[in-house]
């Protein structure tokens, strides 16, 4: 299995969660400043819990790499700007699941990072939209979505390379990364659930018991990664992965 396939599987297995959070946030639509402030408060709350845990879970050789791409400070600055300049108070948002995400190995860390790193790409479309509709810009309430500006594409390419190196060609690590990415999306969806117009489906983990390395007896074990909201037995699309 190539590392490119591992990244493709992350995208495929989180498709339903990605669509769900887009439906909740509706960032491509015009919105009042108060709703935008609530969205920023949610990202701020999530990243305050998540970023220190990711940093602590990474080996020392990757901690400086991660510090250079953290965006939590941008979200906090935006929340503060909206409060002091726009008169929009911060909205209390609960990031309880971000504080308990399993991050026991590099595969899980990279799977979780995939979600937040990928979200930066959307900022290239969202930031101009916020400027047109709300008059916000970098340093004026939209620093989080502006992110690293023209460097965003290069930083995503760098992340893909690093994730491919760390996940490698191991199907086992790929499955663990996919599990972690789905949990991270579920944690974000939980944060933003107060903004949802329809109830969210219950979060679904990948219900896979990974066999021990010496239990395979020389034969491949096939696991089915679900591509939709349901589990492996709900009749939805799956992606077979040999272990």
CATH of domain 3-208: 1.20.910.10
User: What span, in angstroms and rounded, lies between the C-alpha atoms of 124 and 147?
Assistant: 9
Residue 224 scores a pLDDT above 90: no
Task: For 224, list phi and psi in degrees, rounded to 5.
Answer: -110, 115
Q: How far apart (Å, rounded) are the C-alpha atoms in residues 206 and 226?
A: 7
Query: Is 52 a residue whose pLDDT tops 60?
Result: yes
Residue 219: pLDDT above 70?
no
- Residues 189-204 pLDDT 10s: 999 999 997 555 555 5
- The share of the chain scoring above pLDDT 90, in percent, equals 76
Tens of pLDDT, residue by residue over 162-173, are: 999 999 888 999
Per-residue pLDDT reduced to its tens digit, 96-129: 999 999 999 999 999 999 999 999 999 999 999 9
Per DSSP, helices labelled H in the chain are 3-13, 15-25, 33-57, 60-67, 72-84, 106-134, 143-146, 152-167, 171-191
Domain boundaries, the chain: 3-208
């Amino acid at each position: 299995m190539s590392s490119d396939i591992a990244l493709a599987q992350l995208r495929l297995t989180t498709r339903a969660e990605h669509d769900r959070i887009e439906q909740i946030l509706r960032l491509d639509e015009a919105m009042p400043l108060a709703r935008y402030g609530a969205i920023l408060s949610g990202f701020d709350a999530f990243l305050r819990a998540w970023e220190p845990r990711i940093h602590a879970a990474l080996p020392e050789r990757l901690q400086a790499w991660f510090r250079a791409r953290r965006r939590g400070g941008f979200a906090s600055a935006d929340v503060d700007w909206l409060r002091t300049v726009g008169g929009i108070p911060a909205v209390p948002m609960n990031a309880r699941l971000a504080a308990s995400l399993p991050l026991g190995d590099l595969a899980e860390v990279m799977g979780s990072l995939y979600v937040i790193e990928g979200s930066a790409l959307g900022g290239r479309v969202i930031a101009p939209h916020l400027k047109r509709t709300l008059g916000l810009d970098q340093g004026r309430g939209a620093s989080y979505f502006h992110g690293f500006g023209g460097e965003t594409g290069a930083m995503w390419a760098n992340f893909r390379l690093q994730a491919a190196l760390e996940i490698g060609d191991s199907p086992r690590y790929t499955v663990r990364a996919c599990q972690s990415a789905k949990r991270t999306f579920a944690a974000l969806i939980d944060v933003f659930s107060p903004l949802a117009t329809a109830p969210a489906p219950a979060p679904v983990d990948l219900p896979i018991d990974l066999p021990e390395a010496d239990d395979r007896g020389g034969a491949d074990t096939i696991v089915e990664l679900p591509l939709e909201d349901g589990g492996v037995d709900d009749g939805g699309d799956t992606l077979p992965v040999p272990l």
